[in-house]
Amino acid sequence: MAGKFISFEGLDGSGKSTLIAGVRQAFERAQSEVVVTREPGGTPLAEEIRRLILKTDGESPVSATEILLYEASRAQHVAKVIAPALASDKTVLCDRFSESTVAFQCFARGISRTEVDSLNRYAEQGVRPELVVLLDLTVEESRRRQKGREAQAGSAQADRIEREADDFHQRVRNGFLAQAKEEPSRWFVLDAGLDAATLLERTLSELRRRGWLGA
């Protein structure tokens, strides 16, 4: 695998999309080929699975079904999009990846770490982010931003996961921070309360420091 695989994690409203857009521009300016994608989703079939996972009407999945749907989406996404892009030397920027499954399905839902790790490794087929950028945000601030978005006319309502209680989202946040502690050299933690320009500048500096982006 020649290309670099970078994922972005954080609570809803932490500013991942804005940061990813800025990083994409920086790579494009440096004439590097870049693929921007997301999980769950990223291929037509995986996007159909995403819709099943997040919909709020009808039967809710039990936690085993939920994790298997995330992993099904991931297996398809890795095989069809991420692995081929890395093999052709492209940089892949992914909004969420397996580290979300550890935070949400293990720390917040309570599935054992051994089971989550083993399902993640099976879906990844050897493809893992070399760097995970975490936009760390308090649950209160995440909620505040979410409400602001919902108040905008025509904006989407909260999905099934966003509707979980605050203590669920607190466990998700703890789950991200715990993983960052386990592998500090693979994680880059940012305070998502900072303004967007500062978050972008710090991320680009880290990428330059690693030699992944020209000066």
Q: Supply the minimum distance, in Å, between the C-beta of residue 211 and ligand TMP.
A: 28
Number of residues that bind ligand TMP (CB under 6 A): 12
Query: Is the CB of 54 or the CB of 189 nearer to ligand TMP?
Result: 54
Q: Supply the minimum distance, in Å, between the C-beta of residue 172 and ligand TMP.
A: 8
> Is position 10 an interface residue for ligand TMP (rule: CB under 6 A)?
no
Cα(92)–Cα(5) distance, rounded to whole angstroms?
Answer: 5
Instruction: Identify the H or E element spanning 134.
Output: strand 131-136
> Is position 14 an interface residue for ligand TMP (rule: CB under 6 A)?
no
Given a contact cutoff of 8 angstroms between Cβ atoms, the answer to whether 11 and 172 are in contact is yes
> Is position 203 an interface residue for ligand TMP (rule: CB under 6 A)?
no
> Is position 13 an interface residue for ligand TMP (rule: CB under 6 A)?
no
Query: Is the CB of 83 or the CB of 119 nearer to ligand TMP?
Result: 119
Cα(77)–Cα(83) distance, rounded to whole angstroms?
Answer: 9
Of 66, 24, 19, 73, the residue nearest 45 (C-alpha): 73
Among 37, 101, 179, 203, binds ligand TMP (CB under 6 A): 101
Q: Supply the minimum distance, in Å, between the C-beta of residue 208 and ligand TMP.
A: 27
Total Cβ atoms within 10 A of residue 126: 8
Among 12, 47, 117, 136, binds ligand TMP (CB under 6 A): 12
Total Cβ atoms within 10 A of residue 39: 21
Sheet of strand 34-38: strand arrangement = 34-38, 91-95, 5-10, 131-136, 187-191
> Is position 39 an interface residue for ligand TMP (rule: CB under 6 A)?
yes
Of 207, 209, 210, 196, the residue nearest 29 (C-alpha): 207
Among 8, 27, 104, 188, binds ligand TMP (CB under 6 A): 104
In the region spanning residues 110 to 169, those forming contacts with ligand TMP, defined by CB under 6 A, are 161-162
Given a contact cutoff of 8 angstroms between Cβ atoms, the answer to whether 166 and 41 are in contact is no
> Is position 36 an interface residue for ligand TMP (rule: CB under 6 A)?
no
Residues of this chain that interact with ligand TMP (CB under 6 A) are 12, 38-40, 70, 96, 100-101, 104-105, 161-162
